[in-house]
Amino acid sequence: MGKIYFGKDPIAIYHEGVNTIPTGAVEITKQEFDALFEAQRGGATIQADKKGKPIAVFPPSPSASTLKDRLVRLVKSEAFRRIELIAPIWKQLNALRGQGTIDVAAIDAIRANSNKAEQALLAMNDEQSQLFNPLDDKWWA
């Protein structure tokens, strides 16, 4: 394969012999291309710097409170998922109508564990909350 180029308008990678190279595109090395591709796989967007060269720009990390808010939503979502496994909504509705039974104690246990996980999360420092995994069975046992 021939040389590799980066174009800033539109932002794209062009390969000599495969693509028509637009005016203003800058040549990049295979190593630069590989690094950009790897950064993009890691969540970066590829943008042009002031000279038109490609740079990888990573989104800012969420604030500690934003991260905890997201994790609390994940805890609630996991609790809902676990309740659905033992008592789908249709079973719960039928039980309310007197047309079946559900394991209320198991549902209450999931809710209690969800509350404990949320309380533990909110008490964690920033470093600990970054390691918090709401899917870990230790929160649900």
Q: What tens digit of pLDDT does each residue of 6-57 get?
A: 999 889 999 999 999 999 999 999 999 999 999 998 889 999 999 899 999 9
Residue with tokens 């495969």: 18
Does residue 80 sit in the same domain as residue 26? Answer: no
Per the structure, the complete domain to which residue 110 belongs is given by 64-139
Residue with tokens 């949320």: 118
* Neighbouring residues of 71: CB distance < 8 A, sequence distance ≥ 6: 121, 129, 132, 134
Arithmetic mean of pLDDT over the chain: 92
Checking if the pLDDT of 1 tops 70, the result is: no
Number of domains in the chain: 2
Does residue 44 sit in the same domain as residue 27? Answer: yes
Question: pTM of the predicted model, to two decimals?
Answer: 0.59
Helix (H, G, I), strand (E, B) or coil at 102: coil
For residue 105, name the pLDDT band (cuts at 50, 70, 90). Answer: very high
Distances (CA, A) of 12 to 7, 33, 36, 46, 117: 5, 11, 12, 9, 44
Does residue 29 sit in the same domain as residue 72? Answer: no
